Amino acid sequence: MFNLHLEQSAAGSEDQHRLYDVIIIGAGSAGLTTAIYTARDGWDTLVLEEEAPGGLAATTHRIENYPGFPEGVEGSALMERFERQAARFGAEVAPFQKVEKIRKEQDGTFTVEGEQAGQYRGRSVLLATGSKPRKLGIPGEDAYYNRGVSYCATCDGPLYKDQEVVVIGCGNSGLQEAQILLQYASAVRFVEYLDHSIAEQVLQDRVQSHPNAVCLLSHQAEEIKGNGRVKSLVVTNRESGERREIETDAVFIYIGYSPDTDFVAGLVELDDQGYVITDEDLRTSVPGIFAAGDVRSDNLAQVAVAVGDGTKAAVSIREYLQQRVLGSA
């Protein structure tokens, strides 16, 4: 569609000398959607992802509320389609490239520095890093991570076939991911701090009707114990004050998420919880930097919403680049 900016982007054969039109940080639903649009428009697009492409959606066992899939779809399969579509239009997706710093240069371009990646240069940047599972912060949580403590039932559920596990958190994430645990574990105990579940009713009904599920409401997790691997979870009944120790082979934690924004603290405006503040066109406080998806303040953490954000961000980025590149030609 536009040819001028493509000629100007070829500043050198090596990536650190190349000037991308769009650098997207995060290859989840929002980031890959934006990449589909910007690459299809002909803008030179690079997507940097700290882990494997797909984001949190790729770790979800089954997504049932994304339009177009009446029978539901595995999160990993859906996100693989997103990635293939972005690549088809020419977007460059680089996995395992952790971004540590973004710097705005005097000429208005941006330098993106990565732990493994070195440096990349771009005319615009999209923050689509999403969020990460929040930790409980109790004794034993870090010590037994990957030794019985997990934040991903899709990843680790099959390891606990015919064993007993605990899920902390009875919100949507906890009950949704528990669907896969209930396929393998002999028993799943749910520990919830509140005296009720805030999950969708359809998820509550599934768990409550399953013979291997037991829900402990108004209970607070205090400590994870073990001997090389997780052996038990200490909880306190918030109503009676009774403290008890639950034997378990694994603890899966779902108590919410925190935004992945440490690397832009002090660069763009963040809210009190660390989420990126944007205007209605997904522009941040720094011209040329945009944000989309779960990393954005006051955003609903849903794949469909992230896709909408990614689309809107792509349009805003297009307008910004047209003004900077084509408007100045």
Tens digits of residue pLDDT in 113-169: 987 657 899 999 999 999 888 899 999 999 999 899 998 887 788 889 999 999 999
The CATH number of the domain holding residue 221 is 3.50.50.60
Q: Which of 56-70, 90-104, 168-182, 262-276 has the lowest mean pLDDT?
A: 56-70
Residue 293 DSSP class = G
Cβ–Cβ < 8 Å for 285, 269: yes
Collect all residues with Cβ–Cβ distance below 8 Å to 119 and sequence separation of at least 6.
16, 111, 112, 113
* Whether residues 56 and 194 fall in one domain: no
Write out the H or E segment, with its range, that includes residue 150: strand 149-150
Number of domains in the chain: 2
Examine the fold and report which residue of 229, 253, 277 is the final residue of a domain before the chain moves on.
253
**Average pLDDT over the chain, rounded to an integer:** 90
Q: Are residues 194 and 286 in the same domain?
A: no
Amino acid type, 115 = E
Give pLDDT tens digits for 69-83.
Answer: 998 898 899 999 999
Q: Are residues 221 and 303 in the same domain?
A: no
Domain closes at, from 201, 220, 253: 253
- Region 231-260: mean pLDDT is 95
Bridge pairing between strands 250-253 and 164-168:
parallel
pTM: 0.77
The answer to whether the CB of 188 falls within 8 A of the CB of 212 is yes
Q: Tell which of 227, 253, 279 closes a domain.
A: 253
pLDDT, position 327: 67
DSSP 249: S
Q: Is 248 exposed, middle or buried (0-12, 13-18, 19+ CB in 10 A)?
A: buried
Decide if pLDDT at 249 tops 80: yes
**Burial degree of 196 (CB within 10 A; 0-12, 13-18, 19+):** exposed
Residue 79 in tokens:
């996100």
CA distance 72 to 66: 8
Query: Are 121 and 165 in the same domain?
Result: no
In a shared domain, residues 120 and 265: yes
312, 175: one domain: no
Domain of 54, in residue numbers: 4-132+257-326
C-alpha torsion sign, points 306, 311, 313, 314: positive
Same domain, 175 and 205: yes
pLDDT band at 16 (very low <50, low <70, confident <90, very high): low
Is 328's pLDDT higher than 90? Answer: no
Which DSSP helix (H) or strand (E) runs through 310? helix 303-321
pLDDT at 1 over 70: no
Q: What is the pLDDT of residue 5?
A: 37
Quick one: 238 and 264 in the same domain? no
Domain match, 125 and 176 both: no
- Pair 50, 191 in one domain: no
26 plus 103 within the same structural domain: yes
Query: 79 with 125, same domain?
Result: yes
Intra-chain end-to-end CA distance of the chain, in Å: 16
